C-alpha cells in the first residue's frame, strides 16, 4: 500500500468527514436525541422490573443501555454514509474519482470517518450511564473501546454498502427502515432473543449486529442474558463483519466508479 | 506523441448511441476546443477521457495511457474542471485545497506553498478561510480551478469552463489558462458551446451527433466558410432558399424565419433577391462569417439548438 496514493488520501477523506460533521450541529444532535428519547420513554414504560428470561430482574433502562449505544452508532453511521449520495449528487465525489486514489483509500477514509463519529457519539452518550446504573469495570475498558470501534466500523460499512449504489437519499431511507432498523431490533438490543429454536432466535443468531450488542453489553459489565455469545466470540464475529463490509465496499467501489 | 488520442470511440446509453466511432488527436501542448451543442456527445467524451465512464467500443489514450486499462496513470496526469463544482461547500476554500492536494499525495510545506502560490495567481488569498458556500459563483470556480492545478497536471480537461462566470471572471479564467500553457507547456482540452471561447483554441473540433465533423484552426474554419455570409430574414423560407439554390447556384441553410448562405458576392445576391421577391424579405444582413456560421454550414444545425 503506497503511502502517496493510499494513506494520505484516506486520511484526508477521514479528516474531511469529521470536520464536516462538527460543522453541522443539527446532525450531531439528531443522531443523539432520537435514541435518547427511545431510551427514556421505553425505560419509563417498562419500568424498573424487567426480567430477561433466565436472568435476574433489572431496570429496563439498564437492559436497553447497550442497545441505545448501538442505535446511536447506527444513526451516526447512516448520517455519515448518506453523505456519499450527496457527494455524488453535488459533485464532490467526481473530484475524488478522477484523482489517482486507490478504491481502498476511498473506502477506508469513509469508514474511518464514520467510525470516529459513531464511536465519539457513543462515548458522549456514556454520560447517561449513572442513570442506567451502569458502572464501567476498569478491566473491561479495553474491550469496551474495541467494541465501540468495531461496531462503529461495521455500522459505517453497512451504511456505505447501501449508500454507494444509491442515487437518492429517499432510497437510502427505505432500506434503512426495511433492513437496517429491523437488524437492530432483532439483535438483543430491544428485547432478549428467545432461547432455543425459533425463527426470531435464528434471525438473531445470524444477525451480525447481535454480536456487537452482546460485546458492548458484556464490556459494560452488564448482567448475563441467556443464550448470549461470549465476549471473545462477540468481538471476533464483529471483527469478521467489519472485514466483510470493507471487502464488499472495496469491490463495489472498484466496480462502479462512475458518477451518476 | 498525442496528448489525447481516441480511435473509433463508441458509447451507447441503451439504444441511444452517443458517440459514433469518434477519432480525435490532440497534440501535446495544444489548446483544443470541442465545440458542439447540448447532446452532441461532448460531455460523454469528456467523461471517458476523465476515466469516469468506459467506452463501449474503440479506445482512448490520455497522456499515452489507456483510459480503461491504466486509469490510475491517466488520473495522475490530468486535472479536471467539471461543469458542476466538485467542492465541498461546508468546508473552507483552504480545506478544499488541502484535501484536494492530499488526494494527489501532496502534503506538508510543499502543499501549503502550492496553495498560496495558486491563491495569489487566482486572487483568492482573501477568501481562503471562507466557507465555500459563502463564495460567489466566480470565486467558487476559481477555487475549483486552483484545486485541479495543485498537482501540476500535464493535461487540463475543462468541461464548459465558463458556465456560471460573469464576463470579467471569464476573462481571468482564460488569462490564467494562457499563462499556465506558456509557463508549463500544459495541454488544454475544453468543451464549449460558445463561439468566442472556442476561437481561443489552437484547433477546434466540431462535434455533431457523436462524430467529429471537422477539426481545424479557428482561422481556417472561418476561411472555409467563405468571405461573406448573407442572412435573410423572411416569411417565405422555402421560397428564398429555392431562389438562392436555383438562380444563384448557392447552398443556403434554412432556419426558423431566416435563410443563411455563404456567398462571395453577397451584395449582388442581396440586390437580386430584393428585386425578385420584395414582399418576402424583411431584412438582409451581410457580415464576415463567425464560428457559429461555420457550425451551421458544417452540420446544418444551429449551435444553440
Residue B291: pLDDT band with limits 50, 70, 90: confident
To the nearest whole Å, the CA of B102 is away from the closest chain A CA by: 5
Cβ A84 vs Cβ A160: under 8 Å: yes
Distance of alpha carbon B303 from alpha carbon B294, whole angstroms? 10
To the nearest whole Å, the CA of A259 is away from the closest chain B CA by: 7
DSSP assigned state of B41: S
Q: Give pLDDT, residue A25.
A: 79
* Nearest CA among A234, A243, A256, A219 for reference residue A65: A219
Is the pLDDT at A260 greater than 50? The verdict is: no
Residue A247: pLDDT band with limits 50, 70, 90: very high
At B78 the three-state DSSP class reads strand
Beta-carbon separation of A100 and B87 below 8 A: no
For residue range A7-24, list pLDDT tens digits in order. Answer: 999 999 999 999 998 888
Q: Give the mean pLDDT of B262-267.
A: 85
* Nearest CA among B142, B156, B163 for reference residue B189: B156
- For the CA atoms of B51, B56, B57, B62, the dihedral, rounded to the nearest 10 degrees, stands at 0
A87 contacts in B (CB within 8 Å)?
A: 88
Distance of alpha carbon A10 from alpha carbon A20, whole angstroms? 15
Q: Give pLDDT, residue A52.
A: 73
Distance of alpha carbon B305 from alpha carbon B290, whole angstroms? 17
Per DSSP, helices labelled H in chain B are 42-49, 71-77, 93-102, 108-121, 137-149, 167-184, 195-198, 218-224, 237-248, 266-276, 291-299
For residue range A83-125, list pLDDT tens digits in order. Answer: 999 998 888 999 999 999 989 999 999 999 999 999 999 999 9
End-to-end CA, chain A: 29
Residue B305: pLDDT band with limits 50, 70, 90: low
Beta-carbon count within 10 A of B127 CB: 21
Copy the grid coordinates of residue A108: 477506508
Nearest to A8 among B85, B90, B105 (CB): B105
For residue range A143-170, list pLDDT tens digits in order. Answer: 999 999 999 999 999 999 999 998 888 8
Residue owning grid cell 438473531? A204
Q: Give the mean pLDDT of A237-244.
A: 97
Q: Give the mean pLDDT of B278-302.
A: 83
Q: Give pLDDT, residue B294.
A: 83
Q: Comparing B112 with A54, which gets the higher pLDDT? A: B112
Copy the grid coordinates of residue A212: 456487537
Nearest to B52 among A11, A98, A102 (CB): A98
Optimal mutation site among A5, A19, A98, A106, interface B, most CBs of chain B within 10 A: A98
Copy the grid coordinates of residue A57: 430482574
Residue A141: pLDDT band with limits 50, 70, 90: very high
Strand pairing partners for B159? Answer: B191
Q: Give pLDDT, residue A116.
A: 96
- For the CA atoms of A181, A184, A188, A189, the dihedral, rounded to the nearest 10 degrees, stands at -90
Nearest to A100 among B75, B86, B88 (CB): B75
Closest residue, chain A, to B71 (C-alpha):
A100
Residue A259: pLDDT band with limits 50, 70, 90: very low
Interface of A with B (CB under 8 A): 3-5, 8-9, 11-13, 15-16, 19-20, 23-24, 87, 90-102, 257-259
Q: What share of chain A is helix, strand, coil (3-state, %, to 5)?
A: 80, 0, 20
Query: What is the pTM assigned to this prediction?
Result: 0.85
What percent of chain B shows pLDDT beyond 90?
40
Interface of B with A (CB under 8 A): 47, 50-53, 72-73, 75-76, 78, 80, 82, 84-91, 95, 98-100, 102-107, 147-148
Buried b (16+ CB within 10 A) or exposed e, B248-273: bebebbbbeebbbbbbeebeebbeeb
Phi, psi of B16 (to 5 degrees): -95, 120
Amino acid at each position: 500500500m503506497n503511502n502517496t496514493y493510499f494513506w494520505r488520501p484516506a486520511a484526508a477523506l477521514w479528516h474531511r468527514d469529521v470536520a464536516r460533521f462538527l460543522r453541522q450541529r443539527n446532525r450531531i444532535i439528531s443522531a443523539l436525541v432520537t435514541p435518547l428519547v427511545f431510551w427514556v420513554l421505553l425505560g419509563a414504560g417498562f419500568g424498573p422490573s424487567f426480567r430477561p428470561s433466565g436472568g435476574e430482574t433489572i431496570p429496563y433502562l439498564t437492559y436497553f443501555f447497550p442497545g441505545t449505544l448501538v442505535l446511536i452508532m447506527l444513526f451516526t453511521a447512516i448520517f455519515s454514509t448518506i453523505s456519499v449520495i450527496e457527494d455524488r449528487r453535488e459533485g464532490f465525489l467526481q473530484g475524488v474519482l478522477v484523482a489517482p486514489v486507490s478504491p481502498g483509500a476511498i473506502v477506508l477514509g469513509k469508514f474511518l470517518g464514520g467510525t470516529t463519529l459513531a464511536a465519539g457519539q457513543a462515548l458522549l452518550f456514556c454520560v447517561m450511564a449513572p442513570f442506567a446504573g451502569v458502572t464501567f469495570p476498569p478491566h473491561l475498558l479495553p474491550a469496551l473501546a474495541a467494541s465501540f470501534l468495531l461496531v462503529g466500523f461495521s455500522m459505517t460499512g453497512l451504511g456505505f454498502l447501501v449508500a454507494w449504489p444509491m442515487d437518492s437519499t429517499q432510497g437510502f431511507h427505505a432500506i434503512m427502515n426495511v433492513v437496517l432498523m429491523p437488524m437492530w431490533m432483532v439483535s438483543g438490543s430491544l428485547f432478549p432473543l428467545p432461547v432455543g429454536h425459533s425463527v426470531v432466535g435464528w434471525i438473531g443468531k445470524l444477525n451480525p449486529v447481535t454480536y456487537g450488542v452482546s460485546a458492548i453489553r458484556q464490556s459494560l459489565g452488564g448482567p448475563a442474558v441467556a443464550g448470549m455469545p461470549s465476549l471473545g466470540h462477540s468481538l471476533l464475529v464483529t471483527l469478521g463483519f467489519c472485514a466483510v463490509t470493507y471487502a464488499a465496499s472495496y469491490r463495489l467501489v472498484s466496480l462502479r466508479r462512475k458518477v451518476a | 506523441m498525442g496528448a489525447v488520442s481516441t480511435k473509433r470511440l463508441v458509447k451507447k446509453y441503451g439504444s441511444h448511441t452517443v458517440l459514433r466511432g469518434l477519432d480525435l488527436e490532440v497534440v501535446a501542448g495544444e489548446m483544443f476546443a470541442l465545440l458542439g451543442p447540448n447532446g452532441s456527445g461532448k460531455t460523454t467524451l469528456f467523461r471517458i477521457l476523465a476515466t469516469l465512464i468506459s467506452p463501449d467500443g474503440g479506445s482512448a489514450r490520455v497522456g499515452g495511457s489507456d483510459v480503461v486499462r491504466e486509469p490510475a496513470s491517466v488520473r495522475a496526469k490530468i486535472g479536471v474542471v467539471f461543469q458542476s463544482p466538485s467542492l465541498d461547500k461546508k468546508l473552507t476554500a483552504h480545506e478544499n485545497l488541502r484535501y484536494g492536494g492530499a488526494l494527489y499525495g501532496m502534503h506538508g510545506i510543499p502543499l501549503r506553498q502550492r496553495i498560496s502560490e495558486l491563491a495569489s495567481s487566482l486572487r483568492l488569498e482573501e477568501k481562503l478561510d471562507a466557507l465555500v458556500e459563502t463564495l460567489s459563483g466566480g470565486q467558487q470556480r476559481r477555487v475549483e480551478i486552483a484545486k485541479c492545478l495543485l498537482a501540476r497536471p500535464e493535461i487540463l480537461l475543462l468541461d464548459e469552463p465558463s458556465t456560471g462566470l460573469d464576463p470579467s471572471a471569464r476573462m481571468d479564467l482564460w488569462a490564467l489558462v494562457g499563462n499556465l500553457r506558456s509557463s508549463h507547456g500544459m495541454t488544454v482540452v475544453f468543451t464549449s458551446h460558445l463561439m468566442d471561447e472556442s476561437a481561443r483554441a489552437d484547433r477546434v473540433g466540431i462535434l455533431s451527433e457523436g462524430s467529429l465533423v471537422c477539426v481545424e484552426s479557428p482561422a481556417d474554419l472561418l476561411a472555409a466558410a467563405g468571405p461573406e455570409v448573407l442572412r435573410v430574414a423572411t416569411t417565405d423560407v422555402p421560397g428564398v432558399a429555392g431562389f438562392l439554390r436555383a438562380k444563384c447556384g448557392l447552398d443556403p441553410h434554412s432556419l426558423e424565419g431566416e435563410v443563411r448562405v455563404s456567398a462571395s458576392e453577397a451584395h449582388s445576391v442581396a440586390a437580386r433577391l430584393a428585386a425578385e421577391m420584395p414582399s418576402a424579405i424583411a431584412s438582409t444582413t451581410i457580415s464576415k462569417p463567425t464560428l457559429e456560421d461555420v457550425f451551421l454550414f458544417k452540420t446544418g444545425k444551429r449551435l444553440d439548438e
